């Protein structure tokens, strides 16, 4: 879908920036052109300020999205994935594993989850960055407790895994 969005906004990089932000944050648009994070309305002015662009660009982007049926359907249905615990894991007593891998390799999540389960540790959250949006996508796994560092070599044996960080 990201490639379709890029093609649609190829002649307007500022609108592409808005569309990308909507997609990355899971912000939806309603029939009236209002932007939402869940049930909370996001003002075009505040979004424009955050992106350092004119608010009219945000409004024009939303209008463009609503005029294109495929984009309209997607942006009306998209939802935020919820809170990301990776950055507050220490404060919550959780562990974090960040894996950089070849995004085309199949089974990385399953194999990583199996390694963690074999250590008797449950997973609280898994967030995988979309390779179409992030050039070096990361798989972040938040666990119920810290993961022992000696598991790193086992993760590195998973086909496609390039780098592993545990904190």
The domain spanning residue 95 has which CATH number? Answer: 3.30.70.260
Residue 90, pLDDT above cutoff 90: yes
Range of the domain at 100: 86-166
150 and 95 within one domain: yes
105 and 50 within one domain: no
Element (H, E) at 163: strand 161-166
The last residue of one of the domains, among 45, 77, 109, is 77
The sign one gets for the Cα dihedral 91, 92, 95, 99 is negative
139 and 109 within one domain: yes
Angle (CA) 38 137 50, round 5°: 45
Q: What is the pTM of this model?
A: 0.81
Query: Coil, strand or helix: which one is 140?
Result: strand
Q: What is the mean pLDDT of residues 30-43?
A: 97
Residue 133, pLDDT above cutoff 90: no
The last residue of one of the domains, among 77, 100, 121, is 77
Q: What is the mean pLDDT of residues 92-119?
A: 96
Buried b (16+ CB within 10 A) or exposed e, 79-103: eeeeeebbeebeeeebbbbebbbeb
Residue 140, pLDDT above cutoff 90: yes
38 and 103 within one domain: no
DSSP 61: H
152 and 92 within one domain: yes
Q: What six digits make up the tokens of 48?
A: 């424009």
Average pLDDT along the chain: 95
Residue 81, pLDDT above cutoff 90: no
Residue 1, pLDDT above cutoff 90: no
Residue 135, pLDDT above cutoff 90: no
45 and 103 within one domain: no
Question: CA 98 to CA 24: how far, in whole Å?
Answer: 19
pLDDT in tens, 37-51: 999 999 999 999 999
The last residue of one of the domains, among 35, 57, 77, is 77
- Tell which residue, 45, 85, 50, 79, has the closest CA to residue 62: 45
Pair 141, 100: CB distance under 8 Å? no
Number of domains in the chain: 2
Pair 59, 44: CB distance under 8 Å? yes
pLDDT band at 82 (very low <50, low <70, confident <90, very high): confident
């Amino acid at each position: 879908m990201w490639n379709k969005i890029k093609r649609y906004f190829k002649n307007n990089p500022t609108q592409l920036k808005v569309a990308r932000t909507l997609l990355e944050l899971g912000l939806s648009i309603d029939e009236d052109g209002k932007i939402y994070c869940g049930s909370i309305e996001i003002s075009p002015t505040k979004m424009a300020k955050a992106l350092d662009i004119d608010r009219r660009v945000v409004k024009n982007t939303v209008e463009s999205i609503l005029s294109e049926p495929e984009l309209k359907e997607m942006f009306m249905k998209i939802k935020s994935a919820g809170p990301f615990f990776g950055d507050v894991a220490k404060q919550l007593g959780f562990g974090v594993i960040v894996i950089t891998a070849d995004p085309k390799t199949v089974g990385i999540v399953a194999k990583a989850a199996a390694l963690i389960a074999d250590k008797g540790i449950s997973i609280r959250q898994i967030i995988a960055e979309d390779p179409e949006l992030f050039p070096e996508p990361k798989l972040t796994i938040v666990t119920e407790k810290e993961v022992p560092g000696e598991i790193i070599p086992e993760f590195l044996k998973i086909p496609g895994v390039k780098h592993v960080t545990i904190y």
